Amino acid sequence: MSVATSTRINSDLLAFVLRTPRWFWIIGAGLAAVVGIGVLTETVMIVVGLQIMGLSNTVYWAVLITNFIFWVGISHAGVMISAILRLTQAEWRRPITRCAEVLAIFALLTAAMFPLIHSGRVWRTIYWVFPYDFTRNIWPDIRSALVWDPSAILTYLTGTVLFVYVGLIPDLAVARDRATGFKHLLYAALAMGFRGTTRQWKLQHTAGLLLAALILPVFVSVHSIVAWDLSMAILPAWHTTILAPYFVIGAVHSGVAGVVMVMAALRRGLKLQDYIQRRHFETIGRLQIVVAFGYLLFLLLDFYFGLFSRDPIEERIWELRLFESPTNLLLFTQVSTTVLIPLPIWFVARLRSNPAVMFWTSTLLNVGMWLERYILVVTPQSLKQPFVFTWVSTYEPRPAEYVFTVASFALVAIGLLVFAKVLPIIPLWEVKEGASSGS
Amino acid sequence: MSRRVPLVAALAGALVVEAIALIALREAPLARWGYVAAAVVFAASTVQAAPPVALASRLAHGAWGIPVRRLAELCGLSTLITVPVVVALLARLPDWHLRPSVWLDWPGAPLLWDTVAVMLLALAGCALALVPLRQARSLVQWRSRQLAATILGTLYLMCLVFVHVLLSSDLAMSLVPGWASPNFAAYQAVSSLQGGAAFVTLLLAVTNRHAERTFHALGKILLSLSLLWFYFTWSELLTYWYGRTPAEIALLSLLMFGPTLWLFVATALGAFVVPVTLLIWNPVRNSVRGPCVAAGLILLGLLLDRVRVYVAAWTVAGPVRERLEDVPVALLLPRLPELLAALAIVAAAVLLVALALPRPTVVVQRKRELAEAA
């Protein structure tokens, strides 16, 4: 690769890091305001109590837990795409790996907040970790899936941060060499003396591959454990063997769509058309087709075997989902937006390679995936009163829950924006490596 | 004498033995039909599950798959062998009234609709094996042939997964009171892909041992599918283990810890523990022998797995109840007719593929090169 090409890549991809456009402040302020409203709502909830949400005796896992599951799901595909493509040495991965990984980190951090908010008294979550009664030696029950959750999420978060950081080191060194003042000191500290020697490159490459291989089982286990939070309870439609794989395939489905949304937004916002090209959307669109078929299979299995069991409560839950408003509308929207609308569009190569089309189909898909999580979490609880097999309208989301949901999207967006401002969102060294290998 | 003559004779012999054994089993108790069901599902999980390997390499544009694509696609022909046996098994099922089914009491279910499904699979398998046989004479022809193979391969994969869902529900789950596990259907489909990859690996070892790159890629596929085997098994076990309802305790006892304990342990060793332990090492995975040994173990593990599930299910088959009340102490051992039927089904499927295989030109070419070099 020529020096001119290398210089051009450096200046293109570091442009947003080293210079701040005005729109950054406007959009950043807007997103921060939304997050601020969310923080305010949380403060009110701490003072007033959980009654500002629509929870009831029967439905006490609702929108907040839906958000938790949704964001854990989004966090999955980021690392999955990056790790699998790295392990299989797929050349087209180069410009998109980091936005996928960074999306994973911010989605996971956002997800981890929701069980804390859901607890009502955030500070009391300390009792989940430490014994709250020393004299009676009471500890959290390690056989509970609820206790596996924090350990799985923390392991995944640690692994993902390490994975991103190892990939960032060469770029931090480039930023260090081009920055001045405080930024220079910051990048120098983070680059850990990386000078690009052969040994350093070899170590960085090996560490990246090892982390990629190690993080894959963790990513599968995290969402499985989230599913087991539900399926370990003996509640019809929750207590089903397929919930873990169904959650994982759903996570991949929504996560890949999340990566496409971020790719399209960054491409337009940071003017990265030369790096995030139409062929990248075309290729990731193919991946989306395969994942969508897998998701459809598990969706149908969940439905068919719900009826196969001939359990009256489970049949009633499906009746509620299929025939009673508003749940049937939500289910119809879910199936339409996750499978019926995007699949035919993605089958057309010209549409698949259009960033705007991919952005909007992926956005629709994620709306559907959020609804899917909501239906999975809420409807079985609605029928869980003993000996009552009729639909009782016990739960309806209140404004506070909508605010938390919107604020979570703003929080992830602001995280991505700030990351892209501070560090290169497209890996310089990967793009250069690709350019030098002619891919 | 053409090399095909002994193969044709062996295939005809296997079919005759199969027919005689099935006739002999006509009045036998249901439990003995479990071995026939296990053999059919084993064939559907190995020989018939080979074509998706070709599809995977086509979709991923993987050059590693070129030596194996044709071999894998020809395995689609083996579906012809199992169609009549599946129909015989469906006809032998006990009274269907109120028995669970994914067909939800459709008229004619499950016999009619399951038969339609396996015939569709056979049709897709034959089309996949036969359509691309015509030699391409131009680039356009070659491209259209590739596209046809990809489309037919996708269709075949969809039919295969659907048939596995049907076989697992109608020939296993519906016979065991209280068993309604969507995960088991998915498990059977995924483990059949594992069996298909293992079968292709061994087929390649027989026909072309010089395609090192393909063996390495197959080693990776076998490793990831073996991990998936564990994941689906664990999901099933954990949910039942935590549920602990009487129906679930009975199911665990029947399928994992009671009369099938040793089969379950042997399956876990063959389909997961030993292959993963072998293939996780780069030097083993990147050899020719390593993936072949792992593939052999996987096939053995899957055979025991299918015996474990299907023989156990047919042993307890009976009137529709809410849950299984009595778990048998031991499984029925196979007698000569069911053993012959099972062997003949698998042998006929493999022999039909062997008959359709092209001449191993690559091996001949390589031998010629070596001879010239010598």
Cis peptide before A326 (omega within 30 of 0): yes
Task: Report the distance separating Cα A110 and Cα A68, nearest Å.
Answer: 8
The answer to whether the Cβ–Cβ distance between B243 and A302 falls below 8 Å is no
Task: Report the distance separating Cα A330 and Cα A193, nearest Å.
Answer: 53
Rounded to the nearest angstrom, the minimum Cα separation between A231 and chain B is: 7
B29-86 residue pLDDT tens = 888 899 999 999 999 999 999 999 999 988 877 788 888 888 899 999 999 999 999 9
Chain B residues lying within 8 Å of A301, measured CB to CB: 165, 182, 185-186
Task: Report the distance separating Cα B362 and Cα B315, nearest Å.
Answer: 48
Residue B58 contacts residue B146 (beta carbons within 8 Å): yes
* pLDDT for res A383: 74
Q: CB of A214 within 8 Å of any CB in chain B? A: no
* pLDDT for res B92: 87
* pLDDT for res B329: 87
Task: Report the distance separating Cα A278 and Cα A260, nearest Å.
Answer: 12
Residue showing tokens 């899917």: A372
Task: Report the distance separating Cα A159 and Cα A84, nearest Å.
Answer: 15
CA distances to B95, B364, B365, B368 from B374, rounded to whole Å, are 69, 15, 14, 10
The answer to whether the Cβ–Cβ distance between A308 and B59 falls below 8 Å is no
The answer to whether the Cβ–Cβ distance between B104 and A307 falls below 8 Å is yes
Nearest to A431, CA basis, from A5, A104, A4? A5
Which structure tokens are listed for A412? 């992830």
The answer to whether the Cβ–Cβ distance between A240 and B185 falls below 8 Å is no
Which structure tokens are listed for B8? 């044709």
- CB-CB: which of B59, B104, B232 is closest to A245? B232
Residue spans of alpha helices (H) in B46-110: 51-59, 66-74, 79-92
Mean pLDDT in residue range B210-222 = 89
Chain B positions touching chain A (beta carbons under 8 Å): 59, 98, 100-102, 104, 158, 161, 165, 169, 173, 180-186, 227, 231-232, 235-236, 238-240, 242-243, 245
Query: In terms of C-beta density within 10 A (0-12 exposed, 13-18 middle, 19 or more buried), how is residue B359 classed?
Result: exposed
Residues contacting A283, CB < 8 A, separation 6+: A92
Q: How do the pLDDT tens digits run along chain A, 439 residues long?
A: 566 677 777 777 778 877 888 889 999 999 999 999 999 999 999 999 888 998 887 888 899 999 999 999 888 777 777 777 777 666 677 777 888 888 888 999 999 899 889 988 888 777 666 655 556 666 667 777 777 888 888 888 898 889 888 888 888 888 888 888 888 888 899 989 888 889 988 998 898 888 888 888 888 888 899 999 899 888 888 999 999 999 999 999 998 898 899 889 888 888 888 888 888 899 889 889 999 999 999 999 999 988 888 888 888 889 989 998 889 999 999 999 999 999 999 999 999 999 999 999 999 999 999 999 999 999 888 876 555 555 555 688 999 999 999 999 999 999 999 988 888 888 877 777 776 665 5
Task: Report the distance separating Cα B324 and Cα A74, nearest Å.
Answer: 40
* pLDDT for res B373: 59
Q: How many Cα atoms are found within 13 Å in the side-chain-facing hemisphere of A205?
A: 11
Q: CB of A239 within 8 Å of any CB in chain B? A: yes
A61 residue type, one letter: W
Nearest to B143, CA basis, from B69, B68, B71, B58? B58
Q: How many Cα atoms are found within 13 Å in the side-chain-facing hemisphere of A349?
A: 2
ipTM: 0.89
Name the percent of chain B lying above pLDDT 70.
93
Mean pLDDT in residue range B99-123 = 88
Q: CB of A347 within 8 Å of any CB in chain B? A: no
Task: Report the distance separating Cα B134 and Cα B146, nearest Å.
Answer: 12
- SS3 of residue A133 by DSSP: strand
B145-202 residue pLDDT tens = 888 889 999 999 999 999 999 999 999 999 998 898 999 999 999 999 999 999 999 9
Rounded to the nearest angstrom, the minimum Cα separation between B184 and chain A is: 8
Shortest CA distance from B235: residue in chain A: A241
Chain A residues lying within 8 Å of B98, measured CB to CB: 310
